[in-house]
Amino acid sequence: MIGLAEYQIIFTLLRIFQFLAAVLALSLLPSAQILGQSGSLPELGESSTRFLNSQQEADIGKQFLRQLIAAENYITDPELRNYLNTLGREVGQRADLRGVTLQFNLLEENELNAFAVPGGYITFNSGLLLTTDSESELASVVGHEIAHLSQRHLPRMIAKAEAAKLPTTAAIIASILVGGQAGIAGVTLANANMLSNQLAYSREFEREADAIGMRLMANSGYDPEDMPNFFNKLQRFNVISSKDVPEFLRSHPLSYTRIAESEARLNTFPHNAHQSSVEFYFVRAKIRALYAGSAIDAEKVLDDETRNLEGISRDASQYGLALVQARLRKFSEASKTLSEVENKYGDLPAVQIAMAEMELESGAIPAAVARYEKLLKRHPDKTYLYYYYIDALLEHDDPASAKKVTRYQLRRNPQEYNLLQKLSIANVAMGNLAEAHQADGEYLAALGSYKKAIASMKLALRDNTDNSEYLKKSVSARITALEQLIEDAEKAD
């Protein structure tokens, strides 16, 4: 049986390859029964759970997330992450995820790629979002990645490898996860024929993910025709750029057979004439403006689109143009450009966020705080707006209010553990070092980094200069609970 220590080796290897860009390389996993056009699911059986249970999947996911958020190109933008998570969870609500909560993340990376990791973590490169021309195209990739998780492809691969008595299972899995001939060549102990069979299974798993992914997106109201449309686009890109094959095609091998099967599968679904949301266009424009390389190049592209496109596409490009002008500190031009967009989309949070952020950058901090307060009154349910508001309060040198808002939001949404970082910053600004360390500890604990969490909690006890009995008891109890979690994990290994 493969333990977490061996999985740590695999993940260490994969971090060398574009921050786990091929963590699962779910295209390269062996398959059981393929989902046919009837829509029936394959029998997963108990073997996959025996080799990787739900707790191990959660632990692997948290290990991955710690590495991901530490990456320099990890996108923390609350608005972008909220959009992707909203769309992703809408598609995923019809998948059998066995209680796993999906979390979608973004990397600032032009390479076209998306990948899934056990524990419900799905990551998109910004370049892939820019390649999609419709929300349904994006939903097709989302559905495909969710299917890899719902069908437990990684555990099934492990079960298959064990059943075949492969010589060095962990090494072979690492090779397959890395993907391609380079990965295969790196494992000298593996039998070439066995690895060839592993790669053959990949096509079956990709077909399974295509079929289930199409069903998920179609049942969520998106146009299933956009899955083969996107495949065809990738294939054309592959032909044109044969010397630089997109990462998505390397980790998700695409064949004309798969495209034909996805087109044939359309007969089993009604046509959904889905219209992409305004948010989709504005999110793509924001990525183009802020996360697609050179600001000067982005300004040229967005200015050209503003002059030549029409309708929502033009409006979104104009919004993006304002963002990149502000990025270049052309605040006067940016304000003028964005004011035209506000005339048509004044109530759109994206526009108000852009205006508030420009106000912060130009030094009009009270105006930005007031704008966020007004925006939150209109959209109290949009939790992600509070991240911007809290930052504005901190810029306004009002950490007490920032702390109050953050604690209130944590009570409402305890799963928003990124707010714990804001709470720590607010406490530091107020001189409450003990509470700052406590918040840091809770954040690390949420990521599964229990030893580091305990270290932060002990710093909280050390800096409890006010001798708060409540803090002492609560932190001490938390340390005991975390130590028990570590002990339980060591026993499980």
pLDDT digit string, tens, across residues 306-323:
999 999 999 999 999 999
Mean pLDDT of the chain: 82
pLDDT of res. 207? 86
Q: Interior CA angle at 64 toward 177 and 123, to 5°?
A: 75
Please determine, for residue 351, whether its predicted confidence score (pLDDT) is greater than 60: yes
% residues pLDDT > 70 (the chain): 76
Bridge-partner residues for 104, per DSSP? 122
Is residue 149 a contact partner of residue 116, using CB atoms and an 8 Å limit? yes
The better pLDDT of the pair 243, 253 is held by: 253
% residues pLDDT > 90 (the chain): 58
Mean pLDDT over residues 338-362, rounded? 95
Give the model confidence (pLDDT) of 458-471 as tens digits: 999 999 999 999 99
Phi/psi for 107 (5° steps) reads: -115, 140
Give the model confidence (pLDDT) of 449-459 as tens digits: 999 999 999 99
DSSP conformation class of 270: -
pLDDT of res. 379? 94
Is residue 137 a contact partner of residue 30, using CB atoms and an 8 Å limit? no
Please determine, for residue 11, whether its predicted confidence score (pLDDT) is greater than 80: no
Mean pLDDT over residues 344-366, rounded? 95
pLDDT of res. 70? 85
The region, left, alpha or beta by phi > 0 then psi within -120 to 50, assigned to residue 373 is: alpha
pLDDT of res. 117? 86
pLDDT of res. 378? 95
Q: Which pLDDT band, with edges at 50, 70 and 90, does 332 fall under?
A: very high
Please determine, for residue 225, whether its predicted confidence score (pLDDT) is greater than 70: yes
Determine which of 35-44, 102-111, 203-212, 399-408 has the lowest per-residue pLDDT on average: 35-44
The better pLDDT of the pair 21, 110 is held by: 110
The token pair at 177 is: 């996860």
The better pLDDT of the pair 286, 492 is held by: 286
CA distances from 462 to 216, 434, 438 (A): 51, 7, 11
Mean pLDDT over residues 417-433, rounded? 96
Is residue 141 a contact partner of residue 230, using CB atoms and an 8 Å limit? yes
Give the model confidence (pLDDT) of 38-77 as tens digits: 333 333 444 455 556 777 778 878 888 888 888 899 999 9
Q: Which pLDDT band, with edges at 50, 70 and 90, does 113 fall under?
A: confident
Mean pLDDT over residues 175-200, rounded? 41
What is d(CA 109, CA 18) in angstroms, rounded to the nearest whole number? 10
What is d(CA 326, CA 330) in angstroms, rounded to the nearest whole number? 5
What stretches of 68-134 adopt beta strand conformation (E)?
103-107, 114-117, 121-125
Phi/psi for 106 (5° steps) reads: -125, 140
pLDDT of res. 493? 63
pLDDT of res. 257? 82
Q: Which pLDDT band, with edges at 50, 70 and 90, does 376 fall under?
A: very high
Please determine, for residue 295, whether its predicted confidence score (pLDDT) is greater than 60: yes
Percentages of the chain per state (helix, strand, coil), in multiples of 5: 70, 5, 30
Determine which of 83-87, 163-167, 421-425 has the lowest per-residue pLDDT on average: 163-167
Please determine, for residue 244, whether its predicted confidence score (pLDDT) is greater than 90: no
The token pair at 489 is: 């994990």
Give the model confidence (pLDDT) of 141-177 as tens digits: 999 999 989 888 777 766 666 665 554 444 444 444 4
What is d(CA 396, CA 483) in angstroms, rounded to the nearest whole number? 39
pLDDT of res. 185? 39
Q: Interior CA angle at 112 toward 106 and 116, to 5°?
A: 55
Q: Is 77 helix (H, G, I), strand (E, B) or coil?
A: coil
Bridge-partner residues for 107, per DSSP? 74, 125
Determine which of 126-135, 160-169, 323-332, 349-358 has the lowest per-residue pLDDT on average: 160-169
pLDDT of res. 490? 82
pLDDT of res. 35? 27
Mean pLDDT over residues 252-264, rounded? 81
